[in-house]
Structure 1
Amino acid sequence: MKLMVLACLASVAVAAPQHLDERDARHIAVLRDDRTDDGQGNYQYEFETENGISKSVVGRPGSAGGNVVEGFYTFTFPDGTVAEVRFTADENGFVAESPLIPETPAHSLQQIQTAEEQRRQGVTWDGQGRRLTR
């Protein structure tokens, strides 16, 4: 779950519009944009821009009726460091891997284990976080 939230935040940060002064605004050229789709749920796309952003994704039908998607994206920090995030998305959810994503703290793992145990016991909660069942 934490990885999904962090990956979403990273994607939003990378995709967020930059509020640039008109003097700093410039067109970023797409160097490569390759796409294939067989119409049966199998697809692939890759693109690369001149400012160091690239993405590569392969998708195929999954066994549970959804899609299985694997890929990676890269971007360059202002200091020139290249960041890479690899990901998969399937019937088990979205999982991102990168040195940019910190390890899950022990107290968070404990909270997740507690929530799983409560779920197994049938404990339910309302939308405000109040326990409905004992």
Structure 2
Amino acid sequence: MKIALVICLVALATAAPQHPDKDAQIVLEERSDTADGNFYYRFETSNGISEQRTGTPGSEGQSNMDGAFRFRLPDGTIAEVRYVANEYGYQPESDLIPKPHPLPPHAIEQIRVAEEQRRKGITIDK
């Protein structure tokens, strides 16, 4: 239920008209619902906002969904977020989402040495 609420809020926030786009119109809308938990919808607006989502019944009683939404950023570029929402939670993917910096080589080597020592039973007293 929480996943569905989050997704609905994201969709509403994405679709909410901004001041310059107050006259945006829906230019495409497709819907399909088989009443057994399977559904599909897609829409596009005249100002570049779009979303498509497919849903299926989940193994834990939830609705599994996958889809994407797009919107125009202030600089005119198009932002896209692809996502899966299922029993493992909401899993978005986008260039907009910050990614952790990769570990430097010396840190990776320290981790490797520590794991090797752990396997050998070496411990360090504090």
1: CA distance, partners of 2:21 / 2:87: 41
- Equivalence for 2:65: 69
For 1:80, what is the secondary structure of its paired residue?
coil
% of aligned pairs identical? 42
Is it true that 1:81 corresponds to 2:81 in the alignment? no
2: CA distance, partners of 1:13 / 1:61: 25
- Equivalence for 1:14: 14
1: CA distance, partners of 2:25 / 2:47: 8
Deviations 1:29-51 (A, max 9, x none): 10101001000000000000010
2: CA distance, partners of 1:84 / 1:60: 22
For 1:79, what is the secondary structure of its paired residue?
coil
For 2:61, what is the secondary structure of its paired residue?
coil
Residue of structure 2 aligned with 1:33, choices 29, 35, 39: 29
For 1:14, what is the secondary structure of its paired residue?
helix
Deviations 1:93-112 (A, max 9, x none): 00100000001468xxxxxx
- Show the 5 A alignment for 1:105-120: none
**Number of residue pairs matched by the alignment:** 96
Residue of structure 2 aligned with 1:49, choices 45, 48, 62: 45
Say which one has the larger Rg. Answer: 2
Q: How far did 1:15 drift?
A: 4.9
1: CA distance, partners of 2:30 / 2:48: 16
Q: How high is the TM-score relative to the length of structure 1? A: 0.61
Gaps of 5+ in 1: 107-134
For 1:89, what is the secondary structure of its paired residue?
strand
The structure with the largest helix share of the pair is 2
For 2:14, what is the secondary structure of its paired residue?
helix
Structure 1 runs, 4 residues or longer, greater than 4 Å off: none
For 1:64, what is the secondary structure of its paired residue?
coil
Q: C-alpha root-mean-square deviation of aligned residues, in Å?
A: 2.8
Q: How high is the TM-score relative to the length of structure 2? A: 0.65
Deviations 1:5-47 (A, max 9, x none): xx97x937535564x4xxx574211010100100000000000
Gaps of 5+ in 2: 103-126
